[in-house]
């Protein structure tokens, strides 16, 4: 493995709570990688470990090939946006950004030029001399974005970057963060609840549950991960209980659903290539008049819900 972000068999406990349980993750350079999962799955802990804010109990973690010790060095590689970006509200936007620029060792002229550039990019130039306490949530989020980009880090760690923002601001933030110009240069790990956002911006996604990755892959193919079923809909001239019984008697099919109004029968199968010809053959044999057969790959949302539900309903990891 030679990912820009790499975690292997990482474990972390907080008291009796197991936050990460052998988490493995690899994000290649220049990719936007989505980490999706329910509350308490370990997303924030993962980002905190990668930011050097929390130490893993055991396991291997590296950023751009470097281990996390000493953490203050590795933090220069990372721009971390936490879910609730607290700002020093008594400072002006310029003072706030200058403070962090100095902590990141930017010289006065470097800081000035970079701050000006970022304020222009984020449409905040007019607000430079305003105190942060008067900022709206969206403006605060943009100020936090400017902060994490000050030192032009190669890695961005974003924990729910659009959480709590209205759709318009969400779109602006997303457009900025994942614009081709920025995206070409950065490796991004973004944790989100927002599956639509993950689908739009991520190259790859991983589903995290109980502190471990339960599935991962390119965002368009998560529904094709082995074990993930497609939904098949058969449109008939007439739906008859006999035809439904034929489907229910066919091995390899999930639950059969009937929509009398649409005159369809539908089912799920992880192996449509093998199962569908058999289904068609049996239905025709039973006298069905088939108008059409459509195959729908599992959407990211469906795949996520199925994976997360399956994991959450499985045994809770041992505590204590």
Class of residue 83 by CB neighbours under 10 A (exposed 0-12, middle 13-18, buried 19+): middle
Task: Work out whether 73 is an interface residue with other proteins (CB under 8 A).
Answer: yes
Contact yes or no for 224/237 (Cβ under 8 A) = no
x-or-dash pattern for other proteins, window 99-128, by CB under 8 A?
Answer: xx-xxxx-----------------------
- Residue 206 contacts residue 25 (beta carbons within 8 Å): yes
Is 145:133 a contact under the CB 8 Å cutoff? Answer: no
Under the criterion CB under 8 A, does residue 135 sit at the interface with other proteins?
no
Q: Strands 187-192 and 155-159, how do they pair?
A: parallel
- In whole angstroms, what is the distance from residue 60 CA to residue 221 CA? 28
What is the smallest separation between the CB atom of 126 and other proteins, expressed in angstroms?
A: 21
For residues 170 and 149, what is the distance between their CA atoms, to the nearest angstrom?
18
Q: Name the minimum Å distance from CB 112 to other proteins.
A: 16
Asked if 88 interacts with other proteins (CB under 8 A), we say: yes
Which listed range, 46-54, 122-130, 297-305, 309-317, lies at the site for other proteins (CB under 8 A)?
46-54
- The piece of 26-34, 51-59, 110-118, 208-216 that touches other proteins (CB under 8 A) is 51-59
Closest approach of other proteins to the CB of residue 38, in Å: 20
- Nearer to other proteins among residue 144 and residue 201 (C-beta): 144
Burial class (CB in 10 A: 0-12, 13-18, 19+), 287: exposed
Q: If binding is defined by CB under 8 A, does position 132 make contact with other proteins?
A: no
284 scored as a contact of other proteins (CB under 8 A): no
| Number of residues engaging other proteins in binding (CB under 8 A) | 33
Shortest Cβ distance from residue 81 to other proteins (Å)?
Answer: 9
Q: Could you say which residues in the range 238-267 bind other proteins, by CB under 8 A? A: none
Q: How far apart are CA 100 and CA 168, in angstroms?
A: 28
Bridge-based pairing of strands 204-209 and 212-218 is antiparallel
CB of 183 to other proteins, least distance (A): 22
Burial class of residue 72 in the structure, from the number of CB atoms within 10 Å of its CB (0-12 exposed, 13-18 middle, 19+ buried) = exposed
Under the rule (CB under 8 A), what is the footprint of other proteins?
14, 48, 51-55, 70-73, 75-76, 78, 80, 82, 84-91, 95, 99-100, 102-105, 144, 147
């Amino acid at each position: 493995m030679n990912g820009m972000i790499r975690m292997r068999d990482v474990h972390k406990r907080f008291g009796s709570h197991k936050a990460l349980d052998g988490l493995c993750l690899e994000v290649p350079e220049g990719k936007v990688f989505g980490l999706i999962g329910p509350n308490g799955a370990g997303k924030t802990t993962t980002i905190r470990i990668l930011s050097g804010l929390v130490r893993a109990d055991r396991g291997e973690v590296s950023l751009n090939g470097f281990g996390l010790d000493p953490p203050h060095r590795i933090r220069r590689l990372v721009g971390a946006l936490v879910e609730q970006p607290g700002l020093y509200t008594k400072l002006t936007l310029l003072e706030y950004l200058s403070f962090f620029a100095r902590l990141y060792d930017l010289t006065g002229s470097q800081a000035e030029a970079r701050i000006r550039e970022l304020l222009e990019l984020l449409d905040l130039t007019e607000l430079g001399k305003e105190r942060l306490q008067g900022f709206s949530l969206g403006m605060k989020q943009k100020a936090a974005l400017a902060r994490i980009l000050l030192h032009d880090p190669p890695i961005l760690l974003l924990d729910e970057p659009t959480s709590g923002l209205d759709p318009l601001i969400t779109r602006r933030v997303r457009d900025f963060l994942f614009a081709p110009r920025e995206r070409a240069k950065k490796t991004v790990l973004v944790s989100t609840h927002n599956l639509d956002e993950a689908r739009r911006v991520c190259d790859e996604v991983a589903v995290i549950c109980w502190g471990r990755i339960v599935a991962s892959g390119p965002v368009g193919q998560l529904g094709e991960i082995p074990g993930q079923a497609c939904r098949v809909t058969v449109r008939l001239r007439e739906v008859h209980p006999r035809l439904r019984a034929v489907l229910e008697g066919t091995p390899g099919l999930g639950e059969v659903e009937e929509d009398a109004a649409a005159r369809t029968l539908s089912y799920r199968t992880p192996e449509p290539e093998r199962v569908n010809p058999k289904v068609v053959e049996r239905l025709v044999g039973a006298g069905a008049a088939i108008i059409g057969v459509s195959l729908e790959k599992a959407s990211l949302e469906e795949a996520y819900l199925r994976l997360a539900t399956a994991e959450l309903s499985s045994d809770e990891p041992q505590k204590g």
